[in-house]
C-alpha cells in the first residue's frame, strides 16, 4: 500500500502553488448532507482554458448502478499506485468518509446499502445538464469523449450505434477517440464517422495496406486565446483484444514514436497546450507520459478508473473520469507562455436523483428507446444476490454466465471474457432483458462448445494473465482476467508468463486438471471469425427463466498471491 506522503509527492493536487482539486470541498458538503445539484456543480472558474472529459459510457443512455472494483492490482512500477487502490484503502488515501456519497460513487464499500441510499448514477440527460452548466460559465470549454461510446447496450445493438450517435451529437463534443466502436464493423464505423459533426481522432490508427494514417491524428482549437492541440489515441490492441476480421485493413499499436512526432508537429504549428485524448488505459498512459515529453494533459480511458485527483508524471497531468456516465470531469487551466501555471479540477459525480435531467436530451433519449421499451423492461427472472462484473477476477455477472454455459452446453468448464463494461443489478431485484444485454450486448456473441486439453487451458489462461500482469504496461493488452466456471486455480502474479498458474482443479470432482486429458469447454465472445453457437443473451435468458430466481455465492475458487 503506497503511503499518503508518497502519493502526494506524485500528484499535482499537493501543490498550493500549482492548483487545487475539488474533492475536499465535495467531501465536506456530503458530510453535511448538503448534496444538491448546486453543490455538485459549484466551481470557481479559473485560468483561460476549460476541458470537459467523458469516457467509457458503453451505451448507457439512462442511469444505472455500477459497482467499482474490489480488486484492481498494479504490477511492476505501478504496484500500489492509484488507480490500483480500492475500498477502504482508497477512502483513506483520498481522505474520504465511509458511507458518504463519494464513498458510494468511487468504491465498492457497502455498495448495496449505499446504492439504495443514494440511488442510480449517470444518464446522459444528467450529464447534459452538467455540461451545459459548465459551458454557460465557460463558453469556450472543450468537450472531449474518450471512446467506448457506441457499444454495450440493447439499443446500441439494435440500432448499430445510432442511438448513441444521435444523443451524443446533441451534447456537441469537440472530438472523440475510440475502441469498441470498431466492433460495429469497419463499414458501419466509416458510415458514422463521415456524418459526425466533430473529428474522430486516432494518431495510432494506420491503413496497413498503404502504411499511412487512416484517421486525423489531431485537431488544433483556439479557445480563450490559447491554441489547444488535441491528439487522439485509440485503443492500441484492437486486433488482439477484438476481432481483427471486423476491421481487416487497419493496424493500431501504442506507436510511441508516432506520438512523439505528433507532439512535435503540433508544437511546430504553435500549440500552447498539448492534450492527449487517450484510450490506452491508465498504466499505458502513465508510461507514455514518462516516455514522450511535451504532453501537458492526458485524458485517460479504457480501464474505467475514476480518480478524484489528477496524477502527475513529470510535467504531464493524468485525468481519469470513470465509466458508464458516472462522472464528468471539469479541468480549468491557466496557460501562459506555453506552460500550465495552475489548475482547478473537479470529478463531478452524476447522482441521477440529484441532477435535473436536461429536457432536450431526455426527450431525445426517450425517442431512441421508445421502439424497444417493452423488450427492455421485460422481466426474465430475479436475483437474490448483487450482480456485478468489475474487478481483476471473477464477478457475479460472469459467474452467472459461466454457470449457464456449463449447464446449457453440458460442459466441464466455462470461460467468460474479462470485460470491464456492464452495470450492476442489486440483490432482491428483477433481472430485466435490458440488464442482461448491458452485460452481453456485442457484435460477436456466439456461445461456443469445444474440447481442450488441460495443457491448452493452462496456456490460454497464462496468456491472458500476461496481458494483465506483465510488468511492462505496453504489453498489457486486454481487460481483466478471463472468468472461469467449473475450475479453480492459484495464480501468483509475481511470476513470469507460463509459471503464474498452479493447482488447477475441476470443481465438480475435486481432481487436478490433467494436462493430457481433454475437457469440454464452453465460452463466448471468441475473436475467431465464423464461431458457431447461440447468442449468449439467448442462452442466459433461457437459463434464468428456467431458474426463476438466481443467487450467486461468492467465488472462492481463484486464489491470488504475489501482490
CATH number at residue 252: 3.60.21.10
Q: Are residues 322 and 425 in the same domain?
A: no
In a structure prediction context, what are the per-residue pLDDT tens digits for the chain, which is 563 residues long?
A: 333 333 333 443 333 334 566 555 555 555 445 688 998 998 999 999 999 999 999 999 999 999 999 999 999 999 999 999 999 999 999 999 999 999 999 999 999 999 999 999 999 999 999 999 999 999 999 999 999 999 999 999 999 999 999 999 999 999 999 999 999 999 999 999 999 999 999 999 999 988 999 999 999 999 989 999 999 999 999 999 999 999 999 999 999 999 999 999 999 999 999 999 999 999 999 999 999 999 999 999 999 999 999 999 999 999 999 999 999 999 999 999 999 999 999 999 999 999 999 999 999 999 999 999 999 999 999 999 999 998 899 899 999 999 999 999 999 999 999 999 999 999 999 999 999 999 999 999 999 999 999 999 999 999 999 999 999 999 987 679 999 999 999 999 999 999 999 999 999 999 999 999 999 999 999 999 999 999 999 999 999 999 999 999 989 999 999 98
331 and 420 share one domain: no
Residue ending a domain, choose from 298, 333, 367: 367
| Residue 51 included in any domain | yes
Residue 320 forms part of a structural domain: yes
For residue 46, which of 131, 134, 144 has the smallest C-alpha distance?
Answer: 134
In a domain? residue 139: yes
Picking from 367, 387, 411, the residue at the C-terminal end of a domain is 367
Query: Does 286 share its domain with 404?
Result: no
Helix axes 124-137, 162-171, angle to 10 degrees: 20
- Is 158 found in the same domain as 139? yes
Find all residues with CB under 8 Å of 515, minimum gap 6, and list them: 453, 454, 455, 458
Per-residue pLDDT at 390: 86
pLDDT for residue 549: 97
In a domain, residue 530? The reply is yes
Give the chain's domain count: 2
Phi-psi region of 384 (alpha: psi -120 to 50; beta: other; left: phi over 0): alpha
> Left, alpha or beta for 253 (phi > 0: left; psi -120 to 50: alpha)?
left
Residue 373 domain-assigned (yes or no): no
Alpha-carbon gap, residue 9 to 228, rounded angstroms: 28
Are 398 and 339 members of one domain? no
The predicted pLDDT at position 477 comes to: 78
Looking at the fold, whether 386 and 360 belong to one and the same domain comes out as no
Q: Determine, yes or no, domain membership for 12.
A: yes
Indicate the residue among 367, 397, 426 that finishes a domain: 367
Query: Both 430 and 328 in a single domain?
Result: no
Q: Is residue 216 part of a domain?
A: yes
* Within-domain flag for 372: no
pLDDT value at position 32? 47
Which range marks the domain in which residue 405 is found? 378-561
Asked if residue 382 and residue 356 are part of one domain, the reply reads no
Residues 245 and 352 in one domain: yes
Same domain (yes/no): 336, 358:
yes
d(CA 465, CA 237) in angstroms, rounded, equals 15
Both 392 and 413 in a single domain?
Answer: yes
> In this structure, are 392 and 446 located in the same domain?
yes
Q: Estimate the share of the chain in helix, then strand, then coil, as percent rounded to the nearest 5.
A: 35, 25, 40
Q: Please enumerate in sequence order all residues whose Cβ is within 8 A of that of 474, keeping only pairs 6 or more positions apart, or say none.
A: 254, 256, 284, 287
Amino acid at each position: 500500500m503506497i503511503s499518503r506522503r508518497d502519493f502526494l509527492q506524485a500528484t499535482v493536487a499537493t501543490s498550493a502553488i500549482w492548483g487545487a482539486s475539488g474533492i475536499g470541498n465535495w467531501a465536506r458538503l456530503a458530510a453535511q448532507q448538503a448534496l444538491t445539484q448546486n453543490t455538485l456543480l459549484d466551481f470557481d472558474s479559473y485560468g483561460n482554458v476549460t476541458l470537459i472529459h467523458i469516457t467509457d459510457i458503453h451505451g448507457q443512455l439512462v442511469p444505472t448502478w455500477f459497482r467499482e472494483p474490489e480488486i484492481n492490482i498494479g504490477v511492476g512500477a505501478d504496484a500500489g499506485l492509484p488507480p490500483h487502490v480500492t475500498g477502504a484503502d482508497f477512502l483513506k488515501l483520498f481522505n474520504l468518509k465511509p458511507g458518504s456519497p463519494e464513498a458510494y460513487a468511487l468504491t465498492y464499500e457497502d455498495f448495496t446499502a449505499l446504492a439504495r441510499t443514494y440511488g442510480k448514477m449517470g444518464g446522459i440527460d444528467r450529464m447534459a445538464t452538467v455540461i451545459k452548466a459548465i459551458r454557460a460559465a465557460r463558453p469556450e470549454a472543450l468537450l472531449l469523449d474518450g471512446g467506448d461510446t457506441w457499444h454495450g447496450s440493447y439499443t446500441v445493438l439494435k440500432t448499430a450505434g445510432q442511438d448513441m450517435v444521435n444523443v451524443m451529437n446533441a451534447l456537441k463534443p469537440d472530438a472523440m477517440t475510440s475502441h469498441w466502436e470498431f466492433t460495429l464493423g469497419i463499414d458501419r464505423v466509416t458510415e458514422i464517422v463521415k456524418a459526425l459533426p466533430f473529428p474522430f481522432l486516432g494518431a495510432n490508427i494506420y491503413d496497413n495496406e498503404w502504411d499511412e494514417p487512416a484517421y486525423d491524428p489531431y485537431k488544433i482549437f483556439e479557445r480563450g486565446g490559447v491554441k489547444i492541440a488535441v491528439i487522439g489515441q485509440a485503443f492500441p490492441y484492437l486486433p488482439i483484444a477484438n476481432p481483427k476480421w471486423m476491421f481487416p485493413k487497419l493496424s493500431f499499436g501504442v506507436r510511441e514514436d508516432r506520438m512523439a512526432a505528433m507532439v512535435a508537429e503540433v508544437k511546430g504549428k504553435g500549440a500552447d497546450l498539448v492534450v492527449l485524448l487517450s484510450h490506452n488505459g491508465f498504466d499505458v498512459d502513465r508510461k507514455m507520459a514518462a516516455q514522450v515529453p511535451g504532453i501537458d494533459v492526458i485524458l485517460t480511458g479504457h480501464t474505467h478508473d475514476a480518480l478524484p485527483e489528477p496524477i502527475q508524471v513529470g510535467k504531464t497531468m493524468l485525468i481519469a473520469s470513470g465509466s458508464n456516465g458516472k462522472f464528468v470531469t471539469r479541468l480549468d487551466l491557466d496557460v501562459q507562455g506555453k506552460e500550465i501555471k495552475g489548475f482547478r479540477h473537479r470529478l463531478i459525480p452524476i447522482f441521477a436523483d440529484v441532477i435535473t435531467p436536461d429536457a432536450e436530451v431526455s426527450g431525445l433519449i426517450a425517442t431512441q428507446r421508445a421502439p424497444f421499451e417493452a423488450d427492455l423492461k421485460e422481466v426474465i427472472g430475479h436475483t437474490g444476490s448483487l450482480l456485478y462484473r468489475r474487478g481483476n477476477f471473477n464477478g457475479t455477472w460472469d459467474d452467472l454466465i459461466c454457470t449457464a454455459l456449463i449447464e446449457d452446453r453440458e460442459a466441464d468448464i466455462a470461460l467468460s471474457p474479462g470485460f470491464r463494461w456492464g452495470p450492476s443489478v442489486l440483490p432482491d431485484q428483477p433481472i430485466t432483458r435490458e440488464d442482461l444485454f448491458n452485460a452481453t450486448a456485442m457484435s460477436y456473441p456466439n456461445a461456443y462448445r469445444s474440447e481442450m486439453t488441460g495443457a491448452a487451458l493452462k496456456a490460454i489462461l497464462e496468456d491472458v494473465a500476461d496481458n494483465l500482469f506483465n510488468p511492462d504496461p505496453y504489453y498489457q493488452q486486454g481487460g481483466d482476467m478471463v472468468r472461469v466456471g467449473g475450475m479453480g486455480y492459484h495464480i501468483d502474479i509475481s511470476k513470469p508468463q507460463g509459471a503464474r498458474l498452479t493447482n488447477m482443479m475441476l470443481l465438480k470432482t475435486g481432481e487436478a486438471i490433467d494436462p493430457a486429458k481433454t475437457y469440454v469447454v464452453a465460452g463466448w465472445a471468441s475473436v475467431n471469425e465464423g464461431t458457431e453457437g447461440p447468442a449468449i443473451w439467448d442462452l442466459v435468458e433461457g437459463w434464468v427463466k428456467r431458474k426463476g430466481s438466481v443467487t450467486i455465492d461468492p467465488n472462492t475458487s481463484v486464489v491470488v498471491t504475489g501482490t
